[in-house]
Structure 1
Amino acid sequence: MSLARYCLLGGVLLPSACQPATTFDQQVWLQNPEMTDTNNPRRYMAEDVVHRQLRPGMTQQQVLQLLGPPYREELTTLLPDSVSLPKSAATGPNSRMNSIERVAAQEAQFLRAHGRSVRVLLYPVGWSVMDPAFLSVALTPDGLVLKSWVAQH
């Protein structure tokens, strides 16, 4: 058997050309929950999950059946899609706080005023240069998918 035509995936030697799948494969997804893997196959599937698999209005149970249990859950504040953080929250004259503290305070104030608290399911999709990346699934208070995205944390 020539190993040139096989890939090690999830601890199993599989015949393939070793090209990562870009479409969602539930079996491969469930076998690769590692956060620290820089070549986690989930990273190649994540955009397909966001754009084709997860739909607003899906139940949390449907998400769990599709993606398995999340790495963790957290509460966060999201802005509605029609609202964005104004540049004035990122810059402003005459502040006694240093710029990082000022920006964080202004951003937090804006989020409190315009955002809403949501529960987010986090699924690791691998490690980037400096931080882990996660598929984030925001849920409404009644447990329906609001939106999903991929971001570093």
Structure 2
Amino acid sequence: MARQINLSFTRHLYFSKFITFLLLCFLAGCSTSTSFDREVWIDNPDVANKYNHRAKMVQDVIKNHLKPGMPKKSLLNLLGRPYWEGTVRRLPKNTVLPDSISYANDENFKPENADKAMVAINKFYKLYGKPVLIMRYPVGWSTMDPNFLVIQLNSKQQVVEYWVSQG
């Protein structure tokens, strides 16, 4: 009887180890790297792809590959063509919208004030915003909007700064 229990226990132990091994193999096969892989990056330019592989790599790109002063040519060699490139008006660093037109002001959320607040914000951007060259690369989605790696270039076509932005 003791030998039968011992064999049963041994079989159970081997079976448990086998299942654990299969589970670990499955999990290892399903994981994707968070390290930048240029080929995978280039092969996934679609903004509509909500599960874009770039989402897992973007932090590595920011931390280890992009550098201020990097020439645009090097940037294109690294990341390929952007989804969008153009000039936008951005407020200089440390420029803050006045409370009277900020969406931090609850009054501006009221339907009767929303249009007036938007006109005031647009005027503020036209007055204080500076034109800057931006390149945008899709890097997956948040809850309902796409996320982009945004790269700002200066007039010498060099990287100034970069960040991930929604929409």
Measured against the shorter chain, the TM-score band is: 0.7 to 0.9
**CA shift in 2, pair 1:98/1:74, >3 Å:** farther
Residue 29 of structure 1 corresponds to 41
Structure 1 gaps of 5+ residues are: 8-15
Residue 110 of structure 1 corresponds to 124
- Of residues 145, 158, 164 in structure 2, which corresponds to 1:131? 145
Counterpart contact for 1:38–1:127, Cα < 8 Å: yes
CA deviations on 1:10-66 (whole Å, 9 max, x unpaired) are: xxxxxx532232232212111211211221110111122223321111111111011
Q: Percent of pairs identical after alignment?
A: 35
CA distance in 1, matches of 2:114, 2:156: 35
Counterpart contact for 2:145–2:166, Cα < 8 Å: yes
Deviation, 1:6, is: 7.3
Helix, strand or coil for the counterpart of 2:62? helix
CA deviations on 1:52-106 (whole Å, 9 max, x unpaired) are: 3211111111110110011121221122223233333214979xx8333223222
**CA shift in 2, pair 1:63/1:110, >3 Å:** same
Deviation, 1:132, is: 1.6
Counterpart contact for 2:72–2:159, Cα < 8 Å: yes
Equivalent runs, 1:1-153 vs 2, <5 Å? 16-90=28-102, 91=105, 98-153=112-167
Aligned length: 141
Helix, strand or coil for the counterpart of 2:39? helix
Q: What root-mean-square deviation, in Å, do the aligned CA atoms of Structure 1 and Structure 2 show?
A: 2.7
Counterpart contact for 2:107–2:113, Cα < 8 Å: no
Structure having the larger proportion of residues in strand: 1
Rg: which structure is higher?
Answer: 2
Helix, strand or coil for the counterpart of 2:29? coil
Structure having the larger proportion of residues in helix: 2
Structure 2 gaps of 5+ residues are: 1-21
Segments of 4+ moved more than 4 angstroms:
4-7
TM-score (norm 2): 0.71
TM-score (norm 1): 0.77
